[in-house]
Amino acid sequence: MHKPLKPVCVTVWLLLICGCQSSSPALPVAMECQSPPIPAAWFMEAREANLTQRLLDELSPSPITAIKD
């Protein structure tokens, strides 16, 4: 009794795994890129020099002498 049952179970198992599944073709979806958002007003303002740049400006040799004789 077990011998005929094994091939039937294997056949049904293979059909369930491979053959009986319905595969629907993937429909292509047309996508359109959205335009980027408008930047905030603070983003468009001129930036001040950061602390490092200000220190470099202060410590760099100046072409104008500080004390004139």
Q: Give CA separation, 26 vs 20, 29, 49, in Å.
A: 18, 9, 54
Position 34 scores a pLDDT of 86
Q: Where are the domains of the chain?
A: 4-59
pLDDT in tens, 13-52: 777 777 655 666 777 888 888 888 887 877 777 777 688 8
Q: How confident is the model at residue 65 (pLDDT cuts 50, 70, 90)?
A: low
Structure tokens at 65: 């002498």
**Distance of alpha carbon 69 from alpha carbon 65, whole angstroms:** 10
**Mean pLDDT, range 44-67, rounded to an integer:** 74
Structure tokens at 12: 């049904």
Q: Give CA separation, 3 vs 6, 10, 16, 25, in Å.
A: 6, 12, 21, 39
Q: Which residue has the higher pLDDT, 38 or 65?
A: 38
